[in-house]
């Protein structure tokens, strides 16, 4: 099976950002995403929800360039005021052209 190595970018963020982040991903070149409802704790204790602790995890498989763009976008727009983390890992996929 012919596999290609791409990047899996994972964002964990407070739920109020969901719509905006998905819009941003699309604009930055992601061709799809998978979303999970999660909870968590980090350095920020509280967020704008009676449901503190409820976050979304957004995973998207993209080319390395798009991965960089996404990470930069999030660092620039969300790190300061919002509860959000982002990280990237290499993954092997088949049908590599589906994701770029």
Partner 1 sequence: MLDILLANLLSPIVLAFALGIIARLIRSDLSFPEPLYQALSIYLLLAIGLKGGAELSHTPGAVVLRPALVTLALGMLTPITSYVVLRKIGRMDRINAAAIAAHYGSVSAVTFIAAQTFGQLQGNLAEGFMPALVAMLEVPAIVVALMLVFARSNHHGSWREGLHEVLAGRSVVLLVGGLVIGYLSGTEGLKQVEPFFVSGFKGALTLFLLEMGLVAARRLRDLKKVGTFLVGFGIVMPILHGSLAVVLGHWAGLSVGGSAVLGAMVASASYIAAPAAVRISLPEANPTLYLTASLGITFPFNLALGIPLYFALAQWIGG
**Residues near ligand AMP, by CB under 6 A:** 12, 31-34, 40-44, 55, 59-61, 83-85, 99
Structure tokens at 68: 């960089």
Query: Quick one: 52 or 68, whose CB is closer to a copy of itself?
Result: 68
Q: Are strands 84-93 and 4-14 parallel, antiparallel or unpaired?
A: antiparallel
Q: Which of 15, 63, 71, 77: binder of a copy of itself (CB under 8 A)?
A: 71
Quote the least distance from Cβ 12 to ligand AMP, whole Å: 4
Distance of alpha carbon 4 from alpha carbon 23, whole angstroms: 26
CA distances from 49 to 7, 24, 32 (A): 31, 22, 27
49 lines the binding site for partner 1 (CB under 8 A): yes
> How far, in Å, CA of 18 to CA of 73, rounded?
15
Structure tokens at 95: 């049908």
Q: Does the protein bind partner 1 through residue 79 (CB under 8 A)?
A: no
Residues in binding contact with a copy of itself, number by CB under 8 A = 37
Does residue 100 bind a copy of itself (CB under 8 A)? no
Q: Which residue has the tokens 């660092």?
A: 75
Rounded least distance, CB 50 to a copy of itself, Å: 18
């Amino acid at each position: 099976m012919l596999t290609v190595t791409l990047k899996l970018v994972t964002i964990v963020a407070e739920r109020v950002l969901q719509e905006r982040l998905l819009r941003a991903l699309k604009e930055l070149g992601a061709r799809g995403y998978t979303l999970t409802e999660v909870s968590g704790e980090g350095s920020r204790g509280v967020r704008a929800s009676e449901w503190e602790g409820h976050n979304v995890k957004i995973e998207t498989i993209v080319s390395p360039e798009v991965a960089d763009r996404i990470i930069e976008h999030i660092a620039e727009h969300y790190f300061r005021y919002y509860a959000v983390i982002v990280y990237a890992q290499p993954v092997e996929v088949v049908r590599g052209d589906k994701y770029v």
